[in-house]
Amino acid sequence: MAKPRVLVTRAWPAPVEAKMAEAFDVTLNRDDRPLGAAEMKAALTDYDAVLPTVTDRLPAELFDAPQLRAKILANYGVGFAHIDTDAAKSRGITVTNTPDVLSDCTADIAMTLMLMAARRAGEGERELRDGRWTGWRPTHLIGTKVSGATLGIIGFGRIGQAMAQRAHHGFGMRILVQNRSAVAPEVLARYGATQVASVEDMLPECDFVSLHCPGGAVNRHLINARRLEMMKPTAFLINTARGEVVDEAALAQALWFNTIGGAGLDVFEREPKIHPDLMGADNLVMLPHLGSATRQTREGMGFRVLQNLTEYFQGKTPQDKVA
Ligand code: DGY
């Protein structure tokens, strides 16, 4: 029997590409160029499986060809708001993602941003490399203490919980949680956490707010000017979730007018473009979407996609089916 035809939309870690090629008739993206809408649309009619990722866009209109060959979209990544899952489902296409394998590394990056922003590490490094450091002095680059502070976590799935684990057990932080559904008491107890009824209830209480909810239309601009105003003037906002969750123009205002203490961002509304008003803000740390960027995790994500594909083509329900 012919092997299923599979398109990998970006370059992947070499060990995963090699394993993938053993089991499937794989087309790789050697030059790692993002595919355009027309190419992606053609892929749905030419391949049995398309393996997209966060840089791809699969809106409803891509699924309107009369004949689609694609049977599964096995996404490389946990977030899948870039795929119109209703449109895929209506054409009988299964969608999977890669949870679990990236929770620790994404939480590590959220901690990195929180510590860097609070302790002014980015500013310090820039000063030192620019040759502007004049030596130790009691009032130099005074930051904010993280240990023992209050952290608000919005979205208490796997990554939110990995963040709580680090913050509570490693840094003795008090944890407040906002989540769309009720979190089981034993889960909250694991992190000494308290669930609050609304984002509004949480924001005025927090020294740090870390976002771990999904992106997409439902959470677009969840953090907007009104909610930024509810934060303490000394508080920090951390976003490792999706850029669209934060209104970047409103955040830039808050940073420039110091109505919040600072922010740490790993994700942006129009990646790889950065809102120009964020660029010069000194009380902001920015990273280029590095949440899952470790060798172990990126390989783990690839093998998880391979497992989902294998299960699908064996006639089973893939373990990470989301639609
Ligand atoms: C994800 O998994 O959704 C990340 O943003 C890419 O690793």
Main-chain phi, psi angles of 286, to 5 degrees? -125, 140
User: Which residue, among 243, 292, 245, has the nearest Cα to 107 in the 3D structure?
Assistant: 292
- Say whether 275 is catalytic: no
Gap from CA of 140 to ligand 1 centroid (Å) = 37
Assess whether the C-beta atom of 109 lies below 6 angstroms from ligand 1.
no
d(CA 86, CA 109): 31
Helix (H) or strand (E) run with residue 126 in it: helix 121-129
Question: pLDDT 10s digit of each residue in the chain, 323 long?
Answer: 899 999 999 999 999 999 999 999 999 999 999 999 999 999 999 999 999 999 999 999 999 999 999 999 999 999 999 999 999 999 999 999 999 999 999 999 999 999 999 999 999 999 999 999 999 999 999 999 999 999 999 999 999 999 999 999 999 999 999 999 999 999 999 999 999 999 999 999 999 999 999 999 999 999 999 999 999 999 999 999 999 999 999 999 999 999 999 999 999 999 999 999 999 999 999 999 999 999 999 999 999 999 999 999 999 999 999 99
Structure tokens at 15: 């060990």
Contact 49, 29 (CB under 8 A): no
Assess whether the C-beta atom of 243 lies below 6 angstroms from ligand 1.
no
Of the residues 242, 269, 275, 304, only one is catalytic, namely 242
pLDDT at 71: 98
Question: Which residues of the chain form CATH 3.40.50.720?
Answer: 5-101+295-313, 103-286
49 has which bridge partners?
Answer: 6, 72
- Superfamily of segment(s) 103-286: NAD(P)-binding Rossmann-like Domain (3.40.50.720)
User: Which residue, among 28, 4, 5, 31, has the nearest Cα to 16 in the 3D structure?
Assistant: 28
Q: At how many degrees (to 10) do helices 14-23 and 295-313 cross?
A: 10
What pTM does this model have?
0.97
CATH number of 5-101+295-313: 3.40.50.720
Q: Is 178 helix (H, G, I), strand (E, B) or coil?
A: strand
